[in-house]
Structure 1
């Protein structure tokens, strides 16, 4: 008789390797045991190291350029203000559960970013935080939502099913922590119920709580954070949550067969957020972006009166920066002659790399050209991608007010940025490891490695390679 599941994937969005592998390893007995019995290491994310598109890159083996997904929101055309959320309809390549389902595996997918609207699978799927609410159809089959509500109510009395932590960028930290725990407990309870009732061959869940608690509370635990809160009542909150997740993983493993292969994985890591670079304000100071009237207070660029006839470049904010050039014949009011495009882009990239920080020393920006970074460039890609301070700083897109650098975030209180390296832990009872720590592993290697392990044909053209585990 086949044991269920054959493969269990536990995604911990933003789980930071330095915390799991070093600082808190002794406090995480389940993860420690999986490491000791298998192999583990840092997992280099895609660029940009962002939840959307990183999970889809991992599960499809394709890079953001091939997917045409360069962040949470993307330009849909060459107009100046139209950006839309990249949901499941943007992903045109099969992901792991599609490939396994086509091979006859029963699948169960819970909360993997990039799965709303839900698509038909050979099994069950609970979509992600992109769903607007539980009033929308967010499961496959749609009737699964009724069972989900009952399982959630049993796991967390008083809470309806949480697609995400509501308003996790706010100052109500106690409520945020309560919701993070409730969301976690619901995800793992649903996973246990699906294993028990559906007997899937593969189950994958992603817990978003690790990411949300980093963003909400990093300054409460880290003396290196510029806004560190000494003697905070939340000083141990992130540590405690990692321990809680560890116990939930142990409970879920108790519902799995002894033969179940286990992958614990994160899409990127985390680090303290040093502040924000007001990228459009910098472009104004550089003479690349011109406004008819500059607002007195920080204002979204979408709400500003931009003089496009005298603008060469503008930017979009987020955990990284995106720069768009205003090219003649490409954008509606483009001014850069196509023949000058590469020269202008190269010059702007050099100025971004040389940008001084608040102390006058180089900020340490990394600037990427999509055509050199990706194997293909689909959709409307940014002309430049920027890691400010190598992700120590985020991009803030507002214009108006004073200064190029800010401690305030334009989307609400936020303590952490993403780090380029997440983590993976692989424990396979059929191929026992000895606790080796592997290096040079990329997010693109996950899909071909899993398919190879289970003797599933690997689609042609994947970016990653099969790891020798």
Structure 2
């Protein structure tokens, strides 16, 4: 019994199922099952792939984004690693049952952890000189054949679009080449890998694909960038499928979708305007918010930038210089929700922002959760955490050029799994690990 899981970061159903020519994916759809796959909140690479692998939501994992608070200090933000995931991944459970596994590039996969098989870490690998493979000897084996490991597309928020495109193709090509090598030279019953190429393409080139994008250029220097890359990606998928025996089950899956980015809400500038955040002095230029810049004795809340915003309250007895009475936390959360959800674009037009309390999303919010999670403009808007200049709205990402944000639905295409044929509605990211467990005869609820 074998299963091959092909992970494509950030691929939306609109592209994979409707707009792009992908004959290998279509053939798989015709002989199996497919549909939209509802992601988690937040629909972000970290924690989404970890949620898929464990069957647990972000609250249960205590992972709410790439960076998470480790304590209630003002400085305690750390990057998620493989050690942040304290629930067993599906390949851990399979390995414990004697199933040999190959795992490549599944975030957060650095550092690689011992598995019953081989593992190669993900795009969060610090550098190509880092110990990115398990067992350790695998690194030399791979470098002898493929050279330096291209763990991610470097500098994907850049104005050098031709260079970026070359790097995206190179990363995708090497990822699939490594997978083909491993699956033909190492024993396995379960294979899973994730390619970050689609995500980097969307962030770098969405304006050239979407005429509705606010920055869609005329003339368009890259009119075929999406069709050409997706055709290339489909050929790479086909190169893996060609190596599989007829009785091997296949699952193609993405962790979330993508859509154009209309702009950014400068969450900390809004908090300043509304009196929730006070700085020691006015910044001379737009810059990231740092704890030393904040007058904590007069600050009630601050926010993080990113694909969505995490807002934290400065609570007395919890934060070092907290000022909010714990009894008043719910009142302040209500004021923030009301104000942010009413915030429109620069013209006052409603954009449909939703702000959630973590307990509304998760039955258990472990670790140090944010006090609020804000999804700006149905994800057509992102969060900018920088301060300076006073503007609440921006038309560019504050960490570099970015054309796209994420979307709530990814894709799944499956053949040989316990799903009805044709389009299957209602499948969630959190259903994937139980589906895989069922395929191998494991206890789904474990």
Structure 1 residues 348-427: aligned runs within 5 Å:
348-427=336-415
Which of 6, 11, 20 does residue 7 from structure 2 map onto? 11
> Would you say 1:68 and 2:53 are equivalent positions?
no
For residues 88 and 76 of structure 2, the distance between their equivalents in structure 1, rounded to whole angstroms, comes to 27
For residues 42 and 459 of structure 1, the distance between their equivalents in structure 2, rounded to whole angstroms, comes to 24
- Alignment partners' CA distance in 2, 1:387 and 1:122: 39
Q: How far did residue 79 of structure 1 move?
A: 1.2
Per-residue displacement from partner, 1:354-375 (whole Å, max 9, x unpaired)? 1121121222101111112112
**1:279-298 paired onto structure 2 within 5 Å:** 279-298=267-286
Query: Which residue matches 1:150?
Result: 144
Matched position secondary structure for 1:267:
coil
1-side partners of 2:209 and 2:302: how far apart?
A: 36
Give secondary structure in 1 for the equivalent of 2:382: strand
Calculate the aligned-residue CA RMSD, in Å: 1.4
Quick one: which of 149, 152, 163 aligns to 1:164?
152
Counterpart CA distance in 2 for 1:216 and 1:233 is 13
1:132 aligns with 2:136: no
- Equivalent-residue separation in structure 2 for 1:211 and 1:451 (angstroms): 28
Q: Given the alignment of the two structures, is residue 29 of structure 1 paired with residue 43 of structure 2, yes or no?
A: no
* Structure 1 residue 68, shift from structure 2 partner: 0.6
The 2-side partners of 1:146 and 1:234 are apart by: 38
**Equivalent-residue separation in structure 2 for 1:230 and 1:150 (angstroms):** 45
Does the aligned pair in 1 maintain the 2:28–2:415 contact within 8 Å?
Answer: yes
Do 2:75 and 2:291's aligned partners in 1 also have CA atoms closer than 8 Å? no
Structure 2 residue 82 is matched with structure 1 residue 110: no
- Cα deviation, residue 384, structure 1: 0.3
The equivalent of 2:202 in structure 1 is 214
Distance in 1 of aligned mates of 2:180 and 2:352? 45
Alignment TM-score, normalising by the size of structure 2: 0.98
Partners of 1:258 and 1:409 lie apart in 2 by: 46
Q: How does 1:290-309 map to 2 (within 5 A)?
A: 290-302=278-290, 305-309=293-297
**1:443 equivalent in alignment to 2:439:** no
User: TM-score, normalized by length of structure 1?
Assistant: 0.93
Deviation digits for residues 205-238 of structure 1 (CA, Å, limit 9, x no counterpart): 1010000000001001111111112232222112
Whether 2:91 is the aligned partner of 1:97: answer yes
Q: Is the 8 A contact 1:16 1:268 kept in 2?
A: yes
Q: After superposition, what is the alpha-carbon deviation per residue over 1:404-452, rounded to whole angstroms, capped at 9, x for unaligned?
A: 1111211111100000111100111x77964x21111111000111111
Alpha-carbon distance in 1 for matches of 2:14, 2:419 = 24
Unaligned runs of 5+ in 2: none
Matches of 1:197 and 1:90, distance apart in 2: 31
Distance 1:87 1:232 in 2: 39
Question: Following superposition of structure 1 onto structure 2, how do residues 259-274 of structure 1 map, counting pairs within 5 Å?
Answer: 259-274=247-262
CA contact (8 A) 1:107 1:123 kept: yes
Q: What CA distance in whole angstroms lies between the structure 1 residues aligned with 2:356 and 2:209?
A: 32
CA distance in 2 between partners of 1:417 and 1:102 (Å): 38
Greater displacement, 52-61 / 248-257: 248-257
After TM superposition, give the deviation of residue 390 of structure 1 in Å.
1.1
Contact 1:221–1:229 (CA under 8 A) maintained in structure 2: no
Q: Is the 8 A contact 2:43 2:407 kept in 1?
A: yes
Hey, what does 2:241 align to over in structure 1? 253
Q: Could you tell me how far 1:22 is from its partner in structure 2?
A: 1.2
Where does 1:43-54 land on structure 2 (aligned, <5 Å)? 43-54=37-48
Q: Return the alpha-carbon distance in structure 2 between the equivalents of residues 199 and 229 of structure 1.
A: 49
Deviation at 1:342, TM superposition (A): 1.0
Does the aligned pair in 1 maintain the 2:315–2:323 contact within 8 Å? Answer: yes
Structure 1 residue ranges without an equivalent (≥5): 154-159, 461-469
State the distance in 2 between where 1:304 and 1:409 align.
23
Determine the C-alpha separation between the residues in 2 that align with 1:7 and 1:386.
Answer: 37
Kindly indicate whether the alpha-carbon contact (under 8 Å) linking 1:151 and 1:189 is maintained by their aligned counterparts in 2: no
Q: Residues 41 and 424 of structure 1 are in contact (CA less than 8 Å); yes or no, is this contact kept in structure 2? A: yes
8 Å contact kept, 2:304–2:384: yes
Q: Displacement, 1:146?
A: 1.1
**Quick check: 2:74–2:291 contact (8 Å CA) kept in 1?**
no
Q: What is the Cα deviation at residue 179 of structure 1? A: 1.2
